[in-house]
Structure formats: C-alpha cells, structure tokens
Chains A and B, each alone.
Chain A
C-alpha cells in the first residue's frame, strides 16, 4: 500500500473520537433521511400491494334500495371491470362484560365463494356458510378489543329484532383499515366494529331480497373514476343514491392516505432540515480539522507533491470520514425505517409488509453528505496549499490581538487570565465563534423543532376537543330523524343538556374553485358544539349564511360578504347560493357551519337531525348506556389519543438524532486545537 494511504488510515485511526463525532453528525442526517423516506415508501408500497391483492374497489356508492338486476347495466358502463353489490346495515350490539352500546357495521359477503371486490383476509376461523344465517365474521381490531374469538356469541339489535350471532371467523379488510363509526371522528374499536354476514341472511333480516344498498366497482386500468361516477350517479339517482365516490374519498382510504400524507410532510421537511444542518456542521467541523493540518500540507508540498495530489489525499481523508458516517447512517436508517414501518403497519394492521427501500434514497443521503463535506474541507486544503511550503510548515505568526473597550473598562479588573483568553479569542475571530454558536444553535433548533410536535398536538387536542366542544358525548344517528328525537334524548338518565346537529355532504364552489366536504348545522347560540376560533373567541351563528373556516375560505377564494354555491349531495340534492357571513380559524380540517334552521330550510325538511350532542352526568353513564342500547341506530363517540402515541415514537427518533448532532459539534469544537496553535482553553 502506498505510504500516503497508510498515513491516511493511521491518521484516521488516531483521530478516532473526532472521526466518530463527525460520523455521528453525518450519520444522523443520513439516517433520518433513509428512515423517513424508506418508511414512507414501504407504507405506500404495502398499502398498494394490500389493495391490489384484496381487490379493493375503485368506486363506492350506496342507495336506499336497488334491484340486483341493475348489475348488468352497471357492468356495461365503459371502464367498469367488476361489480360487487352488497347490503350494508348498522346494528346495535350488546357484548357481555361491556356496558356501553356498541355499533356494528354489517356488511354482506357471498355465502359461497369469494367476493369479487374488497376481499377479506381471514386471520382465524372461516367465512360464513350457506344455511347458517346467524354466523358472522368479525374485523380483527374489534374482535381483539373485546377478546372475541370464533365460537363466541354476541347479541345484535337488527331491524328491531334481537338476534344472537355466532362468530365463525376473524378477518381484515382493505375497506376498513380505518374503521370509523357514523358520525365519529376517529376509530374506536371498542364501540364500533365491522362484521361480515352472509348475503342471504342479511337480505332476509332487512327485507332486501333481490335488492342491494351498497355498490363497489373495480375499474379498468387507466379509467377516470369521475366519468364512471357520473354514469353511476345518473343510473342510481332514482334509487336514493347519495352520490358515488372514488377510492380517494372512501373514508378508510382517505384517513390512510391522509396519515401517509402527514408522514410524507414529516419525511421530507424534517430530514431536509436535518440533513442541511448535518451538512453545515460536518462542513464546519471538517474544514477546521483540516486547517489544523497546515504544516503537514506544507511538508507534502516540500517533498514535491502537487496541489492536486495534496487535494486528492485530503479528499480521500474526508471521503473516508464521511463514508463512516454514511455507512452508519445507512444501517441505522434502514433499521429504523423498518422498525418505523412495522409500527405503522401494526397500527394499520396490514396483513403484509413490503420493505424494499429504493437505492435512490441511500444514494441521495450519501451524495448530499459528500457534497456538504468536501467543499469546506477542500477550501481549508486550498488555503493551506496556497501558502509557500516554508510558511505553511512554520507555526503561524502570533495572531493579532487587541485590547477591546472591555479590557480597559473597570470590569477587566475582575477578569482572570483564562477568561481574558476566552474573551479575546472570541473578539479576535467573531465569525468563527459565531459559526460555532450557530452550529450548536442549529442542533438545539432541530431538537426543539422535533419536540414541539408533541406540544402542538396537545394544543390542538386541547382546543379541538375540550375548549371548542363542551359536549362529552355525541350520539350519531344512522338516518335523519325528526327533532322530536331530541326530546327522547333529553329525558334519558344523566343527560344534562342536548343539542341537535345536522350534517350533509356537499360540494361548495365559488368561481372555478370547489371543495367537496360537508356542512354542519348547529343551533344559533350553541352551548355544546361551538364555533371556536383559534384565538379563543366563540362565534355567534347568524340566522342565515355560511360560517367557513379560513382554510376553506382561502381554498374557495372567498371572503365575508361573498357567495358560495352549495350543492347538497343527499336527498333532494338542493343547490343554493349562500353568503359567507363569518370566518373562523381552526387547526383541523376545513369545516363549514350554518344555522340548523337555515339548514332545514335548505334541505326542504321539517326540523331534523343526524346527531345529538350531549352533556351527561358521568355518574349516570351506566343507566344511560342501558337506554342507548335499546334505541336502534345510534353510535357513541369517545375520544382517545392513539394518534399522539405513534407520533411520539417518530418524534423521539428525531430528538435522539438532534442530540447526536449537538454532541458531534460540541465534541469536535472542544477537541480541536485552534488554527492559531494556541493552547486549547481549559476543558
């Protein structure tokens, strides 16, 4: 081996701690990037593979009741590859040992053979059998939440009849990765569960023989779902269709994609900042390290090594140091990426896991690190090489120090000599001191940035669920009910206050901008479900017009006093032009509110409601639950904080890496002799 390479290797070995500290900085940047991007990619790949394998449908819709013979006409729509018609109903369940009412989403599956679309992944037991109308397959999260297994029984209030159902299997479905009850905001496996039942059994129970109320379509590759949706909506309008939706709007998929989208934001913004910080730090540290090699560079030149040879030697040294970091970052990143993916896959209950990180992710981390490390280091080499060898080999002349105003001031009497050294060092090279401080500041900033997520989420939860909403229970009704229902709720045990609430899906548009979302109808001076501005103000609800979240108003490009076209997507599908009467700031979603009376008028209905907000006396909960169980078609919502927990895992990785960055900088700053050859300050 060439002597120069031997020198390189032995020098690296001797520098040990510093090489490692630089490697830690670089590894942190690379690992965060690889971890985030590989986990993101794995999640996307896994979700896609899961959808593909289980033939997750591309278009969904439901109707009140439509004859099965329509299947032929639906199949004939251009672009449709396969059609699956089903019956979907909601039942109130009683589960032994669980006091609260549970909402069961019943979905039909063929008694023989597999469904054409939205196939189940059987986790244990079997699917339902022909001639056994009381058999059900439970979704795994629901079954686990209640400890139910094949062979267990549960009671269900179906279409007014109390039935005893037998669990025969446990399954997962791509359609219910996020299983969210009607009117609920987040999954609650204790109070909402999906159950699959035989086609014929369900048709018989709900008087839907020869009919269906739910339709899924698989499309040919490359088909625009919007065109198919237009066809379908026209065809099913007279059967009480609420409007078909593409896969992207399907609720479970929407939540999943939303989660992946959030992860994507974190996976691009955070690692970019992180890698940039790591790049800056490694650049700074390496350029200083090499500046201390000034006399070595002079010696090499004295021997007749050319500038190019010297530069190449140090390029190799920097690349070797950087490579240690890159390699470490790759290994750590790939491992954590896998761990991260597993955590998410577990949360989403993917029955399969595809972790095949793209080589490009690794290459990107390596390239950015090298690009960051080399210029700074070679700049130092260039500066040393520009000196005549004789000068480079000499210890540098004592640097110019001067007395500052401080040394002449009275304070100076109190300063001991080491303190004077420190202060004069700082005043002599303020830029250098500034850069070191900036480096440490950056690593602290990264740490703060990572940790602030926890507080942000807590704040959002606080504002959204506690400050804004005064109710401690929301009961969703499966169908629109007359507002006399409200009275029934008011009389229930433990209920202190009730408030009707309406919601309907709608298209909102202004000019050529539009938004598909929903409108919520609330009472004019709500006590429970309030319109709460992020600033803390509670808005009055005017008798007419829309109250939009600022985000939605921005999306539509409208302000107070301007009008928005509202196209309701349910029932009579009224289209109205409504003025925007107020705006409010919210941290979550893009809600739109209006007065419930105006809402009723818009829908052309008598006073009605889709949900009831309740303030209940918690000591009476048990009795209240008993009552709720006997009322058909309700769902209750209780909030939990699982989302916060998964985010915590992700954030703690970042915090750890930010700590590593800080260590790298501080370690190298204290270990490195200063360029002037001064003694290092007391450690």
Chain B
C-alpha cells in the first residue's frame, strides 16, 4: 500500500499526505490530526474506525474539501485540492464529492425529492432525484417532508442526496450514529448498494467495529493518526451485520 508504487498509484482516487490540523479554540490548541497519510482506491469501501475525538471527522472533512489542513496535501486524482483557491474547492465538492452527515442535515422546508434536487440542480450529470431515492428504497416517500420521516428514512434521503450527483467519492460521517441497529443496517445497505452498483469510492467513519466487516479495508484511527490498517478478505454484506 505504499504510495510510491506506480501500478497502485493509478488506482488511487483520493490521497492525503502528511495532513495535520490544529484547532485554536479559546486558549487551547487541539491537535486533531498529527501527520496522516491515507489513500482511497478506485471503487473501494473503506471504514475508518476510532473513538470519538480521535480526529476521524476532521480527516473526512479535509478529504472532502469541507475544511483545510493546517499542513499537508490532498490529491484528488491529478488535482491537488489543497493547492488552489476557494473556487477549486467549491468545484471539487460540487462535481466529485458526496457527503452524508451523522445528523442528516436535511433542509426541513423541502420534501425528499426537493432535498435531493437541491444538489442535482447544480450537478453536471446528475440522476433524477426519484431514481436516487429509489436506490435507497424511498421511492414511495418522495413527497414527504423530513418531519414526516423516521431517522433512518431521513438518513437514506441524505444518502440519496449525496449520490444523486454521481460523485466519485462518497464520504459518510457516522451515518448510523444516531440510529438503532435495525435502521442503521438499512442505511448501510444503501451505502453498500451505491458502492457496488455505481462503483463510488466510499469512506465510512464509525466507532462501531462491526461495520468494519462490510469494508474492503479498515483503518484504525487514534489520537490524530492512522494506527492500524487491515484488508478484509471478504466483505460481509451489510444485512448480515448485527450489533
């Protein structure tokens, strides 16, 4: 998995090199990332495991262009997203990255379809919102407002919203964190399906080790660093998971 291998490098979709992030909050400096190197390969599903406060979310935000590192670089294919200005990051987020947040972050004043449309309207080659919602099993609830849907359904809308633009990378930040296990599995199934059917490179953050079983690779995160990396010989289907 050395980044120097040319054969593998061509398959790398997203790469972070020597990423550090220091937050200055009030009188304290928090070192969220302490020199992280990470590669995500074309079409793979990676799970980042780690306790809360270990810096997983910070890493995901930096990889997805939602935040900038204090030092280090992020490469999306040939593009160095950390080198350009604001407009490069904006275009990167718009054209290549789909995000799923722990607390769904749906717009309450818009229906399921409209929430998805909020993203497809500015995308280059999006799916129809209805199609994206069908992919996550919500074809029937397309005209419901978030308040009329369960937590799991809301998170699946968030997934539909993230994938409707046909992103190259899907980044999920604790997608099941606010859900019970049954609902969580429904959500993971949706992510699994997107990864398989669309071939979207996917990274899922969680502190739930069971979820690691559905990944191609599992990265263990601790204290702002990747402390361990493991490749699964077999990806366990999401519906077989339980916790």
A residues touching B (Cβ–Cβ < 8 Å)?
Answer: 2-4, 6-7, 10-11, 14, 295-296, 299, 301-307, 309, 388-391, 393, 397-398, 400
Contact = CB atoms under 8 A, between A and B. Distances in A.
Contact of B121 (A2, A14, A295, A306): A2
Interface string B62-106: 001011100000000000000000110011011101010100010
B68 A301 contact: no
A304 B66 CA distance: 10
28 contacts: A2-B117, A3-B110, A3-B114, A6-B109, A6-B110, A7-B109, A7-B110, A7-B114, A7-B118, A10-B110, A299-B107, A301-B90, A302-B66, A303-B93, A303-B99, A304-B90, A304-B119, A304-B123, A305-B122, A306-B87, A307-B90, A388-B66, A389-B61, A390-B58, A390-B67, A393-B101, A393-B105, A400-B26
A296 B115 CA distance: 13
Nearest to B94: A304
A294 to B, nearest CB: 13
B68 to A, nearest CB: 6
Nearest to A296: B107
Chain B interface residue bracket vs A: 20 to 34
B25 interface: yes
A59 B105 CA distance: 78
Nearest to A295: B105
Given A304-B90, A393-B105, A397-B26, A3 B95 contact: no
A466 to B, nearest CB: 65
Which 10 pairs across A and B sit closest by C-beta, in order of nearness?
A304-B94, A10-B109, A390-B61, A390-B66, A390-B67, A3-B117, A304-B93, A3-B118, A389-B66, A388-B67
Nearest to B123: A304
Contacts of B91: 304
B171 to A, nearest CB: 10
Given A302-B93, A305-B94, A397-B25, A389 B67 contact: yes
Nearest to B114: A3
Contacts of B94: 303-305
Where chain B touches its partner, the secondary structure class is mixed
Contact of B90 (A299, A306, A400): A306
A14 B87 CA distance: 32
A10 B94 CA distance: 24
A14 B107 CA distance: 13
Contacts of A4: 118, 121
Given A390-B58, A390-B67, 18 more contacts: A2-B121, A3-B115, A3-B117, A3-B121, A6-B109, A7-B114, A7-B118, A303-B94, A304-B91, A304-B93, A304-B119, A304-B122, A304-B123, A305-B94, A388-B66, A389-B66, A391-B67, A400-B26
B90 A6 contact: no
A73 B160 CA distance: 97
A301 B115 CA distance: 15
Contacts of A301: 90, 93
Nearest to A303: B119
A197 to B, nearest CB: 77
Contacts of B68: 388
B122 A309 contact: yes
Interface of B: 25-26, 58, 61, 64, 66-68, 86-87, 90-91, 93-95, 97, 99, 101, 105, 107, 109-110, 114-115, 117-119, 121-123, 165
Contacts of B119: 303-304
Contacts of A10: 109-110
B96 to A, nearest CB: 9
A305 B165 CA distance: 13
B105 A299 contact: yes
Contacts of A303: 93-94, 99, 118-119, 122
Nearest to B129: A3
Contacts of B107: 7, 296, 299
Nearest to A399: B26
Contacts of B121: 2-4
B122 A307 contact: no
Given A306-B90, A390-B67, A11 B109 contact: yes
A2 B90 CA distance: 20
Nearest to B87: A306
A309 B115 CA distance: 17
A2 B117 CA distance: 8
- Most chain B beta-carbon neighbours within 10 Å: one of A296, A307, A309, A390: A390
- Most chain B beta-carbon neighbours within 10 Å: one of A4, A304, A390, A400: A304
A306 B122 CA distance: 10
Contacts of B110: 3, 6-7, 10
A400 B101 CA distance: 28
B158 to A, nearest CB: 11
B235 to A, nearest CB: 28
A398 B28 CA distance: 13
B203 to A, nearest CB: 15
A398 B119 CA distance: 31
Contacts of B86: 307
- Most chain A beta-carbon neighbours within 10 Å: one of B25, B26, B101, B107: B107
A304 B95 contact: yes
Contacts of B93: 301-304, 389
A14 B90 contact: no
Nearest to A14: B109
Nearest to B165: A304
Contacts of B109: 6-7, 10-11, 14
Nearest to A4: B118
Contacts of B67: 388-391
Contacts of B90: 301, 304-307
A293 to B, nearest CB: 11
A42 to B, nearest CB: 44
A20 to B, nearest CB: 18
A377 to B, nearest CB: 19
A302 B99 contact: yes
A397 B119 CA distance: 28
A157 B29 CA distance: 102
Contacts of A393: 66, 101, 105
B66 to A, nearest CB: 4
A398 B25 CA distance: 9
- Most chain A beta-carbon neighbours within 10 Å: one of B67, B68, B91, B123: B67
Contact of B114 (A6, A11, A302): A6
A384 to B, nearest CB: 14
Contacts of B58: 390
B211 to A, nearest CB: 22
A295 B101 CA distance: 13
A389 to B, nearest CB: 4
A68 B86 CA distance: 90
A244 B136 CA distance: 94
A203 B94 CA distance: 95
A299 B108 CA distance: 13
A32 B74 CA distance: 57
Contacts of B122: 303-305, 309
Contacts of A390: 58, 61, 66-67
A398 B58 CA distance: 19
Contacts of A302: 64, 66, 93, 99
Nearest to A393: B105
A389 B68 CA distance: 10
A483 to B, nearest CB: 88
A295 B108 CA distance: 13
